[in-house]
């Protein structure tokens, strides 16, 4: 029996050209959460930071660029790769967490929605192309893909553009060591329905929200520098240690649950694309995932990584991995027809989601 499956027909991404190495932070004054200035030399702070996260550099947007400027580049590349008429899009879903940031104002600006702004910048005149935002922490882009899959399989949509874009550099407290994790970027996919007798494209997905016990592990708060805090601007804050343990405990289980629903074993998976939040954390998640399937270790080439030079660009990390692999830009990591891959993310909420995808 032929069914409709959702497939990625075009991908695109944009990582800003401004490279920020760890040495950039050597002139910062860092404080702890109580407002006490750290006495550890910044050279030692950045050295330990790189050991823990594997991040050596990241990309920042130029001063004149806004969040939707980044999204526009990624979206145009995805539309071009798909070879579609942009007026045929049924939905434009834009995942972000911090609105349309600018260099001189970090207050939340998301009215009109960023998806509507992107539609205007794309000059899509079709009023039936519904544009809306989704905020779901770092897993926001994947959640947008899950929503698009429902639209397509229900027959409500034939073509959907799903974009993830964030500029974290502008909402990162310069006096908080955790700010070194954050980066800027955007990535997008065009999704279309395909009739097939055999499963292809998106095979299934799972998602969960653990709010009761973990809602405040990522939150907004004042600067650790009490003088800067007087401005009453909010910056991104996280409980890194608790977040690490939460992700290690729960992400592998969520991924396995998604595979179990489909009766697919880990040995049938060619690539695992995990949100680029912390290199060492992703290594630990992957190892724990394979252990859940009784495997002593994961294959060396199963998990492509970009965090060491692109940092954590929130909703953009997973689709950037997907685009770079599709375009054969990741040192031998390629996607071949028939490959089963996993796309998974974890972030504020706390939210987790995972998709199993068979490359057409």
Residue 47 and residue 134 in one domain: yes
Length of the chain: 360
Q: Which of 196, 223, 246 is the last residue of a domain?
A: 196
Helical H segments across 129-278, by residue range: 140-154, 211-214, 226-229, 240-262
Residue 128 and residue 175 in one domain: yes
Q: Which of 173, 196, 219 is the last residue of a domain?
A: 196
CA 4 to chain CA centroid, Å, is 26
Instruction: Kindly report the number of other CB atoms within 10 A of residue 338's CB atom.
Output: 10
The span from the CA of 115 to the CA of 135, in Å, is 12
In this prediction, residue 138 carries a pLDDT of: 97
In this prediction, residue 230 carries a pLDDT of: 86
Residue 277 sits in a domain whose CATH number is 3.40.47.10
In this prediction, residue 106 carries a pLDDT of: 80
Residue 249 and residue 336 in one domain: yes
Residue 206 and residue 336 in one domain: yes
Classify residue 328 as exposed, middle or buried by CB count within 10 Å of its CB (0-12, 13-18, 19+): exposed
Total structural domains within the chain: 2
Nearest to 302 by CA among 286, 326, 324, 321: 286
The span from the CA of 34 to the CA of 176, in Å, is 11
CA 197 to chain CA centroid, Å, is 32
Residue 41 and residue 186 in one domain: yes
In this prediction, residue 155 carries a pLDDT of: 94
| Residue numbers in the chain where pLDDT is lower than 70 | none
Write out pLDDT tens, residues 303-356.
Answer: 999 999 999 999 999 999 999 999 999 988 999 999 999 999 999 999 999 999
Dihedral angle, C-alpha 117, 118, 123, 124, nearest 10 °: -100
In this prediction, residue 126 carries a pLDDT of: 97
Residue 134 host element (H or E): strand 130-134
In this prediction, residue 102 carries a pLDDT of: 87
Residue 29 and residue 158 in one domain: yes
Residue 318 and residue 181 in one domain: no
Q: Which of 159, 175, 196 is the last residue of a domain?
A: 196
What is the value of pTM for the model shown?
0.95
Residue 242 and residue 166 in one domain: no
Residue 187 and residue 285 in one domain: no
Q: For the chain, what is the radius of gyration of the CA atoms?
A: 20
Q: Which residues of 10-20 are buried (b: 16+ CB within 10 A; e: fewer)?
A: bbbbbbbeeeb
In this prediction, residue 240 carries a pLDDT of: 85
Residue 26 and residue 49 in one domain: yes
What does the DSSP 8-state code read for residue 23? Answer: G
Q: Which residues of 108-145 are buried (b: 16+ CB within 10 A; e: fewer)?
A: ebbeebbbbbbbeebebeeeebbbebbbbbbbbbbbbb
Write out pLDDT tens, residues 29-40.
Answer: 999 999 999 999
The span from the CA of 223 to the CA of 234, in Å, is 7
Residue 169 and residue 241 in one domain: no
Q: Which residues contact 53 (CB under 8 A, 6 or more apart)?
A: 180, 181, 278, 279, 280, 307
Give the residue numbers spanning the domain of 61. 3-196
Nearest to 255 by CA among 344, 142, 358: 344
CA 256 to chain CA centroid, Å, is 20
Residue 171 and residue 227 in one domain: no
The span from the CA of 205 to the CA of 223, in Å, is 37
Classified as helix, coil or strand, 297 is coil
In this prediction, residue 355 carries a pLDDT of: 98
Write out pLDDT tens, residues 264-275.
Answer: 999 999 999 999
The span from the CA of 64 to the CA of 10, in Å, is 27
**Do residues 161 and 78 touch, judged by C-beta distance below 8 A?**
yes
Sequential DSSP letters for 225-243: SHHHHTT---EEEE-HHHH
In this prediction, residue 317 carries a pLDDT of: 98
Q: 351-358 and 340-347: which strand pairing?
A: antiparallel
């Amino acid at each position: 029996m032929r069914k409709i499956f959702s497939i990625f027909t075009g991908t695109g991404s944009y990582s800003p050209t401004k490279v920020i190495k760890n040495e950039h932070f050597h002139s910062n004054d860092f404080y702890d959460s109580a407002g006490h200035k750290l006495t550890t030399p910044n050279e030692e702070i950045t050295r330990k930071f790189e050991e823990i996260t594997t991040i050596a550099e990241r990309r920042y947007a130029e001063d004149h660029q806004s969040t939707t400027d980044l999204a526009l580049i990624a979206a145009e590349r995805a539309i071009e790769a798909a070879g579609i008429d942009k007026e045929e899009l049924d939905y434009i879903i834009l995942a972000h967490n911090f609105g349309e940031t600018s260099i001189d104002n970090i207050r939340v600006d998301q009215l009109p929605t960023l998806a509507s702004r992107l539609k205007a910048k794309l000059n899509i005149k079709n009023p039936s192309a519904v544009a809306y935002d989704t905020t779901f922490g770092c897993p926001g882009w994947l959640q947008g893909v899950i929503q698009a899959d429902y639209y397509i399989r229900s027959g409500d949509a034939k073509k959907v553009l799903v974009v993830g874009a964030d500029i974290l550099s502008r909402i990162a407290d310069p006096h908080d060591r955790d700010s070194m994790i954050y980066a800027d970027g955007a990535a997008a996919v065009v999704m279309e329905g395909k009739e097939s007798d055999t499963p292809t494209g998106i095979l299934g997905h799972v998602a969960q929200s653990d709010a009761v016990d973990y809602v405040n592990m990522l939150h907004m708060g004042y600067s650790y520098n009490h003088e800067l805090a007087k401005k009453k601007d909010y910056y991104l804050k996280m409980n890194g240690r608790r977040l690490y343990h939460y992700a290690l405990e729960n992400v592998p289980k969520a991924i396995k649950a998604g595979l179990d629903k489909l009766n697919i074993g880990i040995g049938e998976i060619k690539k695992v694309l995990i949100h680029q939040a912390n290199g060492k954390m992703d290594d630990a998640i992957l190892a724990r995932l394979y252990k859940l399937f009784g495997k002593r270790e994961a294959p060396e080439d199963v998990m492509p990584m970009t965090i060491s030079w692109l940092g954590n660009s929130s909703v953009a990390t997973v689709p950037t991995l997907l685009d770079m692999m599709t375009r054969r830009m990741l040192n031998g990591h390629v996607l071949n027809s028939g490959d089963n891959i996993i796309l998974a993310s974890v972030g504020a909420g706390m939210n987790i989601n995972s998709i199993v995808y068979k490359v057409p």
